Amino acid sequence: MNILLIQIAAYLMVISLIIGSTFGILLILTKRKHRKANRFVGFIVLIMALWQCLVVVNSWGTWDSFQFLYWIPFSNLLAVGPCIYLYTSYRTTQKTPLQWQSVLHFVPLLIEWVLFFGSHSQGTLENYQTYTLLSTRFMMQLMAVTSIGTYSYISIKQLRLFETGENSKETPNNSADLKAITRAILIFASLWGLWLPYALINHFGFNYYMSDYDFYPLYLLIWFYTVWMCVRLFLKAEVVWVEKSRRKNNTKKRISDTLLKQANLLQAQMAKGRYYLNADLTLQSLATELTMNPHALSQTINDALNQRFSDFVNEYRIKAVIEKLNDPQYANITVLGMAYDSGFNSKTTFNRAFKKVTGKTPKEYREQLLNS
């Protein structure tokens, strides 16, 4: 491969490494919707970035100058497949899949680390490119590609089951989003599938005489797609988050404006008809009296007045009791008698409602009236 092209490709990788790593860290750390799921995409990008560092180090020949790099496990691709699976698990179940069983998905990565440090401890930098080490590297990459393909298949199947509602109690509303995720995983796995013929030709045809430079086109394609996927996910998630927040606020405003007139009319009818004096009053019976749909009545009370039905009715009953307390005609009637006469059928309910509305107990309120 032309030296100039190699250097250009290496510089492109360095630039994309900075961009990709930045957005990968942002996906992991930024608090936003689907943060727990997105952090696994961030991990994938950082894993791929570390792998690309190995390609850059090889192309620039920095092993001799920085021999400590020899001991860094740049290739952790066996963790990519599990991260894809855990990402889709979060997006479909909305539960925390990071239980102890999930750690088992990363056991092959631990085995790779053991083989890496074991093989390197037996050799030096000079024999890093020995046939044994190259064979081990080929087998590890083959396992990684197989892992990515397997986990991608499982994840796509999981997404499709969830999309059709077969794997959840309700069909998700973001069907287009799930299809985009499915498509991204499929493309990502397919790009890694292209590595297989490259590696097999190098293994059986050239006996490892093909260098990393010959893999550059494929490596660049995989890495650039990974970075693009990460940037797109980060920016799209922010747009969706903002748009949904705006729609939610606008919906609340429309509901309040629409129900405000109904709420004012309801309060006027309640005061005029004195329906609250009925101790057996229910949402259904009041809706019948007002010729309203029970759901519409409940929505008006809950959304426009920000009250529960019982609190709404008891507030009118407390006002009726207070009117009686200030009326000399009821001077000889007990407070509890006034409560029963105003629609209450329980002393406990009355005391609790009275304290909630006035901030005082009925006894304290009456004593205050007598002392004033």
- CA end-to-end span of the chain, whole Å? 100
> What tens-digit pLDDT sequence spans the chain (372 residues)?
566 776 676 677 778 788 888 888 888 888 777 778 888 888 999 988 888 787 777 666 665 666 666 677 777 888 999 999 998 888 877 555 456 677 888 888 888 788 777 766 655 444 445 545 556 667 777 888 899 999 999 999 988 887 665 444 444 445 667 788 889 999 999 998 888 887 777 667 666 556 666 667 787 888 888 888 888 877 765 444 444 445 555 555 455 667 788 888 999 999 999 999 999 999 999 999 999 999 889 888 988 888 899 999 999 999 999 999 988 888 888 999 999 999 999 999 999 999 989 999 998 888 888 887
> Tokens 């080929």 correspond to what residue?
138
Kindly report whether the global pTM for this prediction surpasses the value 0.75. Answer: no
Cβ–Cβ < 8 Å for 316, 273: no
- Token reading at 165: 């509602």
Nearest to 28 by CA among 56, 47, 55: 47
Residues found in the chain: 372
**Does 81 share its domain with 32?**
yes
In a domain, 324, yes or no: yes
CA 60 to chain centre: 40
* 353 in the same domain as 217: no
What pLDDT does 284 receive? 92
Pairwise CA distance, residues 23 & 234, whole Å:
7
| Judgement on whether residues 37 and 128 belong to the same structural domain of the protein | yes
pLDDT tens-digit series, residues 128-141:
455 455 566 677 77
Whole-angstrom distance, CA of residue 198 vs CA of residue 349: 79
Is residue 180 within 8 A of residue 113, CB to CB? The reply is no
What single string gives the DSSP state of each residue in 158-192?
A: HHHHHHTTTTSSS--S-HHHHHHHHHHHHHHHHHH
Is residue 254 domain-resident?
A: no
Distance of alpha carbon 57 from alpha carbon 128, whole angstroms: 14
Q: Are residues 69 and 139 in the same domain?
A: yes
Q: Which two tokens stand for residue 360?
A: 């005082």
Identify the pLDDT of residue 136: 66
Write down the pLDDT at residue 266: 92
Number of folded domains that form the chain: 2
Token pair 């959304």 is found at 303
Whether residues 228 and 291 share a domain: the answer is no
Q: Are residues 90 and 165 in the same domain?
A: yes
Mean pLDDT over all residues of the chain? 79
H or E element that contains 157: helix 131-163
73: domain range? 3-97+105-249
Burial class (CB in 10 A: 0-12, 13-18, 19+), 35: middle
> CATH number for the domain including 332?
1.10.10.60
| Residues with Cβ within 8 Å of residue 238, at least 6 apart in sequence | 32
CA separation for the pair 321, 339 (Å, rounded): 6
In a domain, 158, yes or no: yes
Residues 6+ apart with CB under 8 A from 56: 10, 13, 14, 17
**Domain check: are 142 and 38 in the same one?**
yes
Buried b (16+ CB within 10 A) or exposed e, 248-257: eeeeeeeeee
Q: pLDDT tens-digit profile of 258-284?
A: 778 888 899 999 999 999 999 999 999
Cα separation, 154 vs 148, whole angstroms: 10
For 283, other C-beta atoms within 10 Å of its C-beta total 17
Q: Quote the radius of gyration of the chain (alpha carbons, Å).
A: 35
Quick one: pLDDT at residue 170?
A: 40
Which three-class secondary structure state does DSSP give residue 96?
A: coil
* pLDDT value of position 166: 44
Asked whether residue 244 falls in the same domain as residue 116, the answer is yes
Are both 301 and 195 inside the same structural domain?
A: no
Q: Write down the residue that tokens 């006002």 correspond to.
A: 319
